[in-house]
Amino acid sequence: MIVAVVSGKGGTGKTTVAVNLALSLDREVQLLDCDVEEPNAHLLLRPEISTAEPVYLPVPVFQKGKCTGCGRCVEVCAYNALVLLRDKVLILRELCHGCGGCLYFCPEEALVEGKKVLGTVEQGRIGKIGFACGRLNVGEALAPPVIKALRRGADPALDTIVDCPPGASCPVVQAVRGVDFCLVVTEPTPFGRHDLEVVAEMLRMLKIPCAVIINRADLGDGGVRDFCKEQEIPVLAEIPFKKEIARCFAAGIPFIERFPGWRKKFQELWTAVEERVASNARNCCA
């Protein structure tokens, strides 16, 4: 089973939920930190990293001697990454998405494939948890290829928890692609409700079932609970606002180590997710 932990914005407690959930399971599990622009799950888990592999983006390389200046490559580029200047093609590597269309459609084969390093995928382990995270290089804008490489390297035989980027943009869509269930972490404020609405709509369009975890549940207002009731989205857990929990995170300590009673609550949360995934599978087969 693959469970993604998402949120409408940063700072809601997404990584806190993902890490404590992984630590609570008494079996082999893997945690993927797909927030490649700012990975921080390792700060709580402190895994031993064993490998680090670069992630490449295929980019075109111009060969002047073969180009006839037809402009076909510029026409087919959906990202405006190519510019024809007289008898030379200028390649804007920062805009290139590596789709390969320019190489395919160039009638003279004046473009060949090169490589650009976007980031790295690191893998390691801590106890029963297999850990992997992606790191986007500073100055790069394309997170989805790094996330795709990270997801592709996961062990399909293990239960997987995916710590996603915040928001509902392209990196999040790539991170949740193919998951069985999403846990949406939010907070009971007007901003929390707004961001929850955006994420819920994204998951509805992707046809991914979800449930909500309310962090800092004893603050704010009832807008989030009202929205969940209106949309029939189950609220599977509520985490209260406690300075002790905040202090744990600030010190890089998973809070189930200080509050062992929460270990059982996270186990019950996982069981509830398993039941919903199984129920969805039965309904699809019926």
Q: CATH number of the domain at 46, please.
A: 3.40.50.300
User: Do residue 48 and residue 105 come from a single domain?
Assistant: no
User: Do residue 97 and residue 141 come from a single domain?
Assistant: no
User: Do residue 221 and residue 181 come from a single domain?
Assistant: yes
User: Do residue 127 and residue 92 come from a single domain?
Assistant: no
User: Do residue 95 and residue 221 come from a single domain?
Assistant: no
Per the structure, the complete domain to which residue 68 belongs is given by 64-109
**Mean pLDDT for the chain overall:** 94
Torsion of CA 237, 205, 94, 164, to 10 degrees: 10
pLDDT in tens, 49-64: 999 999 999 999 998 8
pLDDT in tens, 87-127: 789 999 999 999 999 999 999 999 999 999 999 999 999 99
Residue 144, phi then psi, degrees to nearest 5: -55, -40
C-alpha–C-alpha distance, residues 11 and 194, integer Å: 15
Report the SS3 class of residue 121: strand
User: Do residue 105 and residue 132 come from a single domain?
Assistant: no
pLDDT, position 286: 61
Closest CA to 266 of 254, 279, 281, 248: 254
Residue 15 has pLDDT above 70, yes or no: yes
User: Do residue 84 and residue 38 come from a single domain?
Assistant: no
Instruction: State which amino acid sits at residue 25.
Output: L
User: Do residue 101 and residue 166 come from a single domain?
Assistant: no
Report the SS3 class of residue 49: strand
Last residue of a domain, one of 90, 109, 128: 109
User: Do residue 225 and residue 130 come from a single domain?
Assistant: yes
User: Do residue 273 and residue 138 come from a single domain?
Assistant: yes
pLDDT in tens, 164-216: 999 999 999 999 999 999 999 999 999 999 999 999 999 999 999 999 999 99
pLDDT, position 29: 96
The reported pTM is: 0.92
Q: Say what angle helices 14-24 and 261-285 make with each other, to 10 degrees.
A: 90
Domain count, the chain: 2
What's CA 220's distance to the chain center, in Å?
Answer: 27
C-alpha–C-alpha distance, residues 267 and 272, integer Å: 9
